[in-house]
């Protein structure tokens, strides 16, 4: 069954970027459809008991009137938001955000997105087809989990990417090796240890980089506010460049290639350090092979040592590769301008296919690392809305 265009824009994805973009589009008077399970990545792919690395002040989703902040949510709840912020609190905030704005979400799955003579056609899992002139892809990062080649022959449940780890209680009494030295690896190790697992962290990094407590930064509040952007993304000084996506987009590629990794390099929040005091951490070592033996995993390290474990958790990050969005039609993918798997975007986060926008991590190659964090909705959502309305981008320093 095919239905003619009933909306100005369709958004594929109902996470922070999808909801924030819908809020701005609807506020601008654009009829907007949102497809997906609300906050599904956060519900299904974040471990129970997780704490957000970003502080509450850098974790609010963008709304047009800038009133639906975590601070405001805390006031309504009768207590300021906790810092670090528990996952369940953030999910409660996201639901409140959606309810306050009356953002209806169609939970049917988009199985295919293709172009037609009038724009785009979305095929849904119940067989319905919907035509719209514009589409915003807010599909999240779940399909982009990075699996190092030495683990690709081993599947679940022996080897699990951190994106697939939701419940930690099942690992009680099991030996688990966690690969990586970033926030995901360190927090996963802490949660598994606290659930009764026997855990070891192995990483190529020579040391664990800890994000210090704000009080430990040896500078006054005023100097700190000049040194670090409020986005909390990136090291001193560099964070201000990353905080202005329109500036980042215009930098030479070789400079972008330095800023991006500097802002998202592996590091752990200060509050994880004491929780890992009893967890062995092996640094400066790489896994060169992984094999199955007697129902377990045997890892061979680069210096010749081995480890045997019941499970391996890969906290090895993500690499954006938009062709892995299974709903994108092959013909549409072929028309996309791509750079290392990421769409090349222009003003308003519009791709080389007119009318097709990408928000969230898929936009990070063009607009910088803040697009990987919730705080990036403050730029992306109004930028998309202004582009669709035919308005000029906001002045650089007003983008936030």
Work out how many domains the chain is built from and give that number.
2
Based on the domain organization, do 84 and 203 belong to the same domain?
no
Element (H, E) at 287: strand 287-293
Q: What are the structure tokens assigned to 253, written together? A: 């590629």
Q: What is the DSSP letter of 265?
A: S
Query: Is 224 domain-assigned?
Result: no
**Residue 236, C-beta contacts closer than 8 angstroms, at least 6 positions apart:** 227, 228
Rounded Cα gap, residues 32 and 56, in angstroms: 28
Look up the domain containing 353 and give its range. Answer: 2-144+319-398
Residue-level pLDDT, tens digit, the chain, 400 residues = 445 457 999 999 999 999 999 999 999 999 999 999 999 999 999 999 999 999 999 999 999 999 999 999 999 999 999 999 999 999 999 999 999 999 999 999 999 999 988 899 999 999 999 999 999 999 999 999 999 999 988 988 899 999 999 999 999 999 999 999 999 999 999 999 999 999 999 999 999 999 887 654 555 555 556 668 888 888 888 888 889 999 999 999 999 999 988 888 899 999 999 999 999 999 999 999 999 999 999 999 998 899 999 999 999 999 999 999 999 999 999 999 999 999 999 999 999 999 999 999 999 999 999 999 999 999 999 999 999 999 988 765 455 5
Query: What phi and psi values does residue 123 have, to the nearest 5 degrees?
Result: -100, 130
Rounded Cα gap, residues 155 and 37, in angstroms: 26
Query: Is 67 domain-assigned?
Result: yes
Based on the domain organization, do 66 and 169 belong to the same domain?
no
Q: What is the DSSP letter of 145?
A: B
Based on the domain organization, do 37 and 183 belong to the same domain?
no
Based on the domain organization, do 73 and 179 belong to the same domain?
no
Based on the domain organization, do 92 and 201 belong to the same domain?
no
Query: Is 217 domain-assigned?
Result: no
Q: How many residues does the chain have?
A: 400
Instruction: Print burial letters for 307-328: b (CB count within 10 Å at least 16), e (below 16).
Output: bebbbbbbbbbbebebeebebb
Based on the domain organization, do 205 and 330 belong to the same domain?
no
Based on the domain organization, do 180 and 133 belong to the same domain?
no
Rounded Cα gap, residues 291 and 294, in angstroms: 10
Query: Is 260 domain-assigned?
Result: no
Based on the domain organization, do 48 and 194 belong to the same domain?
no
Q: Which of 329, 123, 120, 309 is nearest to 198 (CA)?
A: 309
**Residue 311, C-beta contacts closer than 8 angstroms, at least 6 positions apart:** 157, 158, 159, 160, 171, 174, 175, 176, 177, 297
Query: Is 228 domain-assigned?
Result: no
Based on the domain organization, do 194 and 123 belong to the same domain?
no
Based on the domain organization, do 21 and 103 belong to the same domain?
yes
User: The CATH number of the domain where 301 resides is what?
Assistant: 3.50.50.60
The residue whose two tokens read 């949510």 is: 73
Based on the domain organization, do 197 and 122 belong to the same domain?
no
Based on the domain organization, do 28 and 107 belong to the same domain?
yes
Element (H, E) at 260: helix 253-264
Query: Is 242 domain-assigned?
Result: no
């Amino acid at each position: 069954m095919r239905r003619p265009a009933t909306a100005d824009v369709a958004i594929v994805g109902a996470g922070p970027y999808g909801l924030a973009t819908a809020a701005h589009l609807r506020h601008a008077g654009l009829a907007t459809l949102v497809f997906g399970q609300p906050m599904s990545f956060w519900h299904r792919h974040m471990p129970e008991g997780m704490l957000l690395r970003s502080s509450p002040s850098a974790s609010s989703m963008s709304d047009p009137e800038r009133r639906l902040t975590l601070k405001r949510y805390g006031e309504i709840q009768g207590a300021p938001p906790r810092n670090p912020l528990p996952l369940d609190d953030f999910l409660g905030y996201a639901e409140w955000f959606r309810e306050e704005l009356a953002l209806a979400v169609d939970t049917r799955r988009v199985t295919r997105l293709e172009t037609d003579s009038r724009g785009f056609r979305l095929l849904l899992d119940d067989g319905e087809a919907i035509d719209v002139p514009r589409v915003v892809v807010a599909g999240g990062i779940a399909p982009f989990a990075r699996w190092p080649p030495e683990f690709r022959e081993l599947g679940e449940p022996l080897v699990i990417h951190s994106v697939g780890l939701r419940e930690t209680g099942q690992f009680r009494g099991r030996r688990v090796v966690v690969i990586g030295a970033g926030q995901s690896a360190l927090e996963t190790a802490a949660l598994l240890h606290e659930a009764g697992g026997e855990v070891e962290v192995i990483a190529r990094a020579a040391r664990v980089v800890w994000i210090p407590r704000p009080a430990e930064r040896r500078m006054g509040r005023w100097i700190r506010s000049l040194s670090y952007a409020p986005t909390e993304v990136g090291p001193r000084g560099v964070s201000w460049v990353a905080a202005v996506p329109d500036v980042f987009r215009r930098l030479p590629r070789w400079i972008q290639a330095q800023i991006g990794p500097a802002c998202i390099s592996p590091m752990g929040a200060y509050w994880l350090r004491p929780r890992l005091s009893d967890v062995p951490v092996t640094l400066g070592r790489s896994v060169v092979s992984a094999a199955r033996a007697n129902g377990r995993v045997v890892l061979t390290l680069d210096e010749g040592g081995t480890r045997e474990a019941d499970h391996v958790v890969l906290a090895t990050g993500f690499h954006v590769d938009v062709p892995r969005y299974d709903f994108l039609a092959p013909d549409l993918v072929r028309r996309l301008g791509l750079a290392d798997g990421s769409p090349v975007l222009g003003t308003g986060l519009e791709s080389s296919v007119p009318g097709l926008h990408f928000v969230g991590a898929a936009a990070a190659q063009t607009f910088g690392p803040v697009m990987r964090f919730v705080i990036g909705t403050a730029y992306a959502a109004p930028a998309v809305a202004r582009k669709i309305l035919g308005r000029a981008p906001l002045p650089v320093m007003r983008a936030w």
